[in-house]
């Protein structure tokens, strides 16, 4: 049912005539309404246990969240347990500064996934969105690590598509959401909010030197894809405190890793969260992305220029 709603919501291949009659807008509204109904049903559904399905997998899904989104996170997790290619682990990293009572602060509808293989760990610090990948990379450097966000529902084929595409492109980094880096006539970076989002309708993977991925859309990092500085906590906090995307893209460029845009026909299905604060909006509204890109270019000798 999740996949049906995601397909209904998706509108990458548009027909101009249908667009005039706002058919795509109507489809998205219907899919959101149906999703709200579906969440009631899903509360009572069981999922497959990771421990029983794919013990030999070399893939780990890694994510983080914060208190404002913890109540809806179970929907994201549910979609991850429905993947056609199951990972070895799904790990959720949380800060004890935000969840001081540990598992007591976690909703029951999320904790129930622990019996199916969800691993929840608490750390004593808070490095923001960098928690998404940092500790998994630190403890499991030889695995394929897939980063996802806490406010999307993912199509069941996502993980299999990412992994297969990476293998087809010689263990490249593969992303499900990306922009093209844009420069002016002098080679200087244009403001981040002018970088075009990649939206190609032929649904074939795209490899290009100026792909800039968003890690939360579903991004796969093969072992060794990231530069050694990736775990330099002092640097990532100093240069990109609010932009794990910029830090991870920087580490890929420094390592010389190829980046492939998956170009899936399925859009990301966003969760509707009350009083939601999106880090991407904060960065765009305050030009934080441009400031942090500037920090990276100064420290790493214009790697984006």
- DSSP 3-state assignment of 82? coil
Q: Which of 139, 169, 2, 145 is nearest to 87 (CA)?
A: 145
CA distances from 124 to 120, 131, 247 (A): 14, 11, 22
Q: What is the DSSP letter of 197?
A: B
Distance CA 166, CA 163 (A): 5
Please list, in sequence order, all residues whose beta carbon lies within 8 angstroms of the beta carbon of residue 26, skipping any fewer than 6 positions away.
none
Q: Domain coordinates of the chain in residue numbers?
A: 2-42, 50-299
CA distances from 281 to 20, 199, 254, 277, 287 (A): 29, 20, 27, 8, 10
Instruction: State the CATH architecture for 50-299.
Output: Alpha-Beta Complex (3.90)
Beta bridge partners of 173: 259
Per-residue pLDDT in tens (0 to 9) along the chain, 305 residues: 567 667 666 765 544 444 444 565 666 666 666 666 666 566 556 677 787 766 689 999 999 999 999 999 999 999 999 999 999 999 999 999 999 999 999 999 999 999 999 999 999 999 999 999 999 999 999 999 999 999 999 999 999 999 999 999 999 999 999 999 999 999 999 999 999 999 888 889 999 999 999 999 999 999 999 999 999 999 999 999 999 999 999 999 999 999 999 999 888 889 987 665 555 545 555 689 999 999 999 999 999 98
Q: Sort residue 152 into left (φ over 0), alpha (ψ -120 to 50) or beta.
A: beta
Q: What angle do CA 214, 6, 200 make, to 5 degrees?
A: 50
Distance CA 156, CA 143 (A): 21
Please list, in sequence order, all residues whose beta carbon lies within 8 angstroms of the beta carbon of residue 234, skipping any fewer than 6 positions away.
none
Give this prediction's pTM.
Answer: 0.88
State CA 230 to chain mean position distance: 17
């Amino acid at each position: 049912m999740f996949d049906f709603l995601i397909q209904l919501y998706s509108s990458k291949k548009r027909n101009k005539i249908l667009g005039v009659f706002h058919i795509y807008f109507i489809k998205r509204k219907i899919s959101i309404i149906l999703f709200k109904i579906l969440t009631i049903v899903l509360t009572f559904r069981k999922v497959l246990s990771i421990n029983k399905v794919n013990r030999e997998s070399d893939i780990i899904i890694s994510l983080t969240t914060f208190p404002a989104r913890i109540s809806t996170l179970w929907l994201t997790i549910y979609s991850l347990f429905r993947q056609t290619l199951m990972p070895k682990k799904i790990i959720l990293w949380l800060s004890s500064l935000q969840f001081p009572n540990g598992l007591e602060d976690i909703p029951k509808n999320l904790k129930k996934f622990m019996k199916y293989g969800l691993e929840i760990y608490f750390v004593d610090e808070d490095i923001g969105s960098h928690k998404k990948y940092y500790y998994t990379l630190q403890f499991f450097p030889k695995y394929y690590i897939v980063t996802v966000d806490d406010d999307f529902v993912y199509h069941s084929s996502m993980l299999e598509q990412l992994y297969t595409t990476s293998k087809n492109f010689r263990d490249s980094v593969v992303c499900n959401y990306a922009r093209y880096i844009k420069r002016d006539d002098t080679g200087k970076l244009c403001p981040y909010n002018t970088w075009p989002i990649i939206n190609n309708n032929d649904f074939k993977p795209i490899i290009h030197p100026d792909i800039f991925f968003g890690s939360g859309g579903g991004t796969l990092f093969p072992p060794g894809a990231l530069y050694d500085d990736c775990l330099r906590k002092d640097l990532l906090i100093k240069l990109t405190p609010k932009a794990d995307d910029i830090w991870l893209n920087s580490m890929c460029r420094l390592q010389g890793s190829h980046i492939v845009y998956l170009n899936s026909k399925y859009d990301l299905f966003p969760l509707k969260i009350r009083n939601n604060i999106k880090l991407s909006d904060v960065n765009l509204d305050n030009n934080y992305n441009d400031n942090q890109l500037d920090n990276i270019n100064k420290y790493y000798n214009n790697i984006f220029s």
